[in-house]
Amino acid sequence: MELQTLIGRMTLEEKCSLLSGGTQFTSKAIPRLGIPARFFSDGPLGIRRQEGAADHLGLNPSVPATCYPAPAAVANSWDTALAEEVGKHLGAEAAALGVDVLLAPGLNIQRSPLCGRNFEYFSEDPYLSGKLAAAYIRGIQSRGVAACPKHFAANSQETLRMHSDSVVDERTLRELYLTGFEIAVKESGPKCLMSSYNRVNGVYASENKSLLQDVLRDEWGFDGFVVTDWGGSSDRVAGVIAGNHLEMPATGGDSDREVAAAVRAGRISEELVDRRVGELLSVLTELSPAKETAGFDREAHHAFARRAARETIVLLKNEDRVLPLAPGTRVAVIGDFAQTPRFQGGGSSSVNPTQVDTPLDCLRESGLDVIGYAPGFRRHGGEDAALRQQAVELAGQADVALVYLGLDELAETEGLDRMDMTMRPSQTALLEAVAAVNPNVVVVLAGGAPMETPWISLCKGLLYGSLGGQAGAGAIADALTGKFTPSGKLAQSWPLTGGDAPCARYFPGKERTAEYREGLFVGYRYYETAQIPVRFPFGFGLSYTSFSYSDITATDRSVSFTLSNTGSVAGAEVAQLYVGREDSVVFRPVRELKGFAKVYLEPGESRRVTIPLDDKAFRYFDAKIHRWEVEGGSYQLFVGASCRDIRLTAQMEVAGIKAPAPYDALPSYDSGRVADVPDSEFETLLGRAIPAAKWDRSAPLGLNDTFAQLQYARGWVGRLVYRMMKGQVDRSMTSGKPDLDALFRYNMPFRGVAKMMGGMVDMAMAEALLEVFNGHFFRGLGHLTAAFFRKNKAEKAVAAALSRAGQDKPQEEECP
């Protein structure tokens, strides 16, 4: 049936009902019109379709699925073909498991090394992120499943993520935080996109017309639908007006009644509701996942996961060519992670893997002589001299000590940012003790984000496996023994310390706002421009072979050069193209990534490599006239093995405007030294006053304030609830295993009571509860009781209306 005809047969209640979820993970169905419910599932690392009671945090078990390398790991491959293959495998499993919309990939910029969810995102660079995300999306959607990139936009911290306001200037927003989404939308056509929890410059992303309509639809040509993050709707009517189509999860009809009432009151037109319903159904009714009744081939998918993990491994140190290890090398395997690997992060992306390879088992099958294993440390910290001594004694008997270290589960999880970049002190103490008895130490490092490595002199070899998925252990064993040559390159800079990060003084925002004072100077853009030493630069990675670059030529469309394998083994090199301009009137980083190519070469082989220059190579966003421009003049083109290891350079004259100076004097931004930007400069960059960063502790609490703020509540009930919730959070942190549900509730706005309880509570009841917290106990209790009965009455009235609609109109065939 033609969509407009279909919509014309709906009652207002039915139209509004389609704009919110039917359950925790399904849209609503209208059987009489043949509109099916569609199933949504988390999926950046693998399919998380839950059995039984569903939740959005990964607390309850899900059906078994392959856990692939985390996006942060895949980014280290710099391989769009691999990313597309990962997407195809994700799409195939989604279809096999009855999933219609896969909530992946994650596209937020790794603004800080401390974001607890960095493992779900690709990179600190928007160009690399966008190219990889587009590849994922093409792969997923090739299987008839809708991909849903997330979280749009400027959602770079977990702390107070549902409450925080990202205060960011327009140029930085467009060039850094939206460009990855732009590339993904234009190059892969995602059928869905998820709005983020946070505000962006004062307006919630889920109801931000500038983002959802002006940029996403009108400028980029997005023709899919927008879904809220789970519980991420504030004003549902404002969201529909702005361009948000589907609120998730189910709110028991509360949001539907709110939208219908707004239509009747004239706040929103029924024509606009029809448009949103049409935009939503144009996707949901056309989805046709290639259902595989026999499921998917678990062994084949596991084998692919191992091949994918190989490409993500980064060799960070190889002193005296300690790697690869020869067959029969006597190795001591040390570290708790060698027995129980870290292969994924925590939260909604957690996968119930079909199987998990353990490093110890894989090493025993690798041809090495494993003389023994010792855990060496307690996984979640704490001193244990006996465990350490056992490891030291074992290490002293081996040719090489393989020490498995990294970040534990508490360090990397949804809902919680890291406190610092360090590993547990017990791990460092173990490494020091082992290095004292064996000079040949190889560290295998697990974790989805950068770590401080002041201990690097204690090891000869350092292999970074990131979070390699369920088959990552086998890929690491293959790398250690030379079954392939590591070719990964870091997609995020590794500073010497967390305090060196450009946003260290501003991250995370701990009350009302998250100030993006560093502007454009995120990651390598800062370290290179301000000439800050780092441990490992963006794009860095060693190999078992070597490569040379020569003969660069450049046109207005591409840069070409010759790449040669000058070593004795086959391998792949990631050649990176950066663009810079020295005499720019517009401040900018000294160089920015604008292209890359991963090239596999046999020993002695040479190849001519061409990297295109696209429409993003020279542009900048002019915040005064709100559009993209190209500043005419001479640009430098840099080709290298990392952002700091530049092998070739060329000059190019580029046609464009004679750019006027867009700002008054901004010395911090002009120099790139943005670690401590004064208020006056940030205000000039913003073009407005800096919003208040602190909560107003004297004001009554509102629906968009959080349960964490109950410590300032006027009423004793609120303060009691705060003590109970804070105690639960503190106990979970002390235990070493975060209680994600407790953390989510603690950081949740009060409106979340209505948005996350499946209709048990509506907004009127949430408002009454706030009255109690604000010290009006009896009045609030009375309003709560009245709201409860009004809700039940309204639910019955809507149910009756929907029932009449079903009786009055004949049932149609199901839409395709």
Provide the strand spans (E) within 248-398: 314-318, 330-334, 369-374
Say how many Å lie between the first and final Cα of the chain, rounded. 9
Distance, CA of 549 to CA of 570 (rounded, Å): 16
Q: How many CA atoms lie within 13 A of 269 on its CB side?
A: 4
Residues 6+ apart with CB under 8 A from 491: 72, 75, 76, 78, 122, 123, 124, 125, 128, 538, 539
Closest Cα to residue 376, out of 336, 320, 433?
Answer: 336
Distance, CA of 180 to CA of 477 (rounded, Å): 34
Distance, CA of 485 to CA of 570 (rounded, Å): 7
According to DSSP, the residues that pair with 413 across neighbouring strands are: 346, 416
Tokens of 19: 């704009």
Distance, CA of 94 to CA of 102 (rounded, Å): 7
DSSP 380: T
According to DSSP, the residues that pair with 572 across neighbouring strands are: 600
Classify strands 633-640 and 571-580 as parallel, antiparallel or unpaired. antiparallel
480 CB burial (10 A radius; 0-12, 13-18, 19+)? buried
Distance, CA of 113 to CA of 493 (rounded, Å): 8
Q: What is the CA radius of gyration of the chain?
A: 27
Angle formed at CA 758 by CA 755 and CA 759, multiple of 5 degrees: 80
Distance, CA of 392 to CA of 435 (rounded, Å): 9
291, 95 in Cβ contact below 8 A?
yes
DSSP letter string over 70-112?
A: PHHHHHTTT-HHHHHHHHHHHHHHHHHTT-SEEE--B-----S
Q: How many CB atoms neighbour CB 221 within 10 A?
A: 10
| Residue where the block lists tokens 């083994």 | 569
Tokens of 234: 């504030």
**Dihedral of alpha carbons 54, 56, 62, 64, sign:** positive
**Dihedral of alpha carbons 476, 478, 479, 481, sign:** positive
Q: Catalytic amino acids?
A: 229
Query: Phi and psi of 153, rounded to 5°?
Result: -160, 170
Distance, CA of 71 to CA of 351 (rounded, Å): 14
338: amino acid identity, one letter:
A
Distance, CA of 276 to CA of 294 (rounded, Å): 36
Distance, CA of 279 to CA of 213 (rounded, Å): 12
712, 718 in Cβ contact below 8 A?
no
Distance, CA of 215 to CA of 182 (rounded, Å): 9
According to DSSP, the residues that pair with 651 across neighbouring strands are: 636
According to DSSP, the residues that pair with 597 across neighbouring strands are: 575
736 CB burial (10 A radius; 0-12, 13-18, 19+)? middle
669, 699 in Cβ contact below 8 A?
no
Tokens of 466: 């990131």
379, 408 in Cβ contact below 8 A?
yes
Tokens of 473: 């252990």
